[in-house]
Copies of this chain bind each other. A is one copy, B any other.
Amino acid sequence: MNTLTDPSAASHHEANSSAAKHGNAVLAFDVGGTDMKSGIVVGDVNSGAIEVLDVRRHPTPLDGARSGESVCARIVELTQEYRAAYPQLVIDAVGVTVPGIVDEEAGIGVFSANLGWKDFPFTATLTQALGLPVGFGHDVSMAGEAEFRLGAAVGKKDVLILVIGTGIAGAVLCDGHRVAGGGYAGEIGHALVPGPEGAPVILESLGSAGAVARRYTQATGSVVSGARDVVALAAEGDAAAVAVWKDAIDALAFSISQCVSILGTETVVLGGGLSMAGPALFEPLAARVDELLTFHRRPEYVHAALGENAGLIGSALKARSLAGGA
CA A275 to CA B262, docked complex, whole Å: 20
Q: Which B-chain residue is minimally distant from A177 (CB atoms)? A: B177
- When the two chains form their complex, are residues A259 and B262 in contact, meaning their CB atoms are under 8 A apart? yes
Please choose the segment from A87-95, A186-194, A208-216 that sits at the chain B interface, where 4 or more of its residues have CB less than 8 A away: A186-194
Interface: A175 (CB within 8 A): yes
A297-B184 contact in complex given A174-B174, A263-B179, A292-B200, C-beta closer than 8 Å: yes
Main secondary structure of the interface of A (DSSP, over half): mixed
CA A190 to CA B198, docked complex, whole Å: 21
- When the two chains form their complex, are residues B254 and A185 in contact, meaning their CB atoms are under 8 A apart? no
Copies of this chain in the oligomer: 2
- When the two chains form their complex, are residues A257 and B192 in contact, meaning their CB atoms are under 8 A apart? yes
Task: Report B-chain residues with C-beta under 8 Å of the C-beta of A260.
Answer: 184
Task: Report B-chain residues with C-beta under 8 Å of the C-beta of A305.
Answer: none
Q: Which B-chain residue is minimally distant from A194 (CB atoms)? A: B194
CA A194 to CA B292, docked complex, whole Å: 12
* Of the residues B179, B262, B296, contact of A170 by C-beta under 8 Å: B262
Task: Report B-chain residues with C-beta under 8 Å of the C-beta of A185.
Answer: 158, 174, 262-264
Between-chain CB contacts (< 8 Å), 28 pairs: A101-B295, A113-B295, A158-B181, A158-B182, A158-B185, A172-B174, A174-B174, A174-B181, A177-B177, A180-B264, A181-B265, A182-B266, A182-B297, A184-B260, A184-B264, A184-B297, A185-B264, A186-B264, A188-B262, A190-B261, A190-B295, A190-B296, A191-B261, A191-B262, A192-B254, A194-B198, A200-B254, A259-B262
Instruction: Point out residues on A near B: beta carbons under 8 Å.
Output: 101, 111, 113, 157-158, 170, 172, 174-175, 177, 179-188, 190-192, 194, 198, 200, 254, 257-266, 292, 294-297
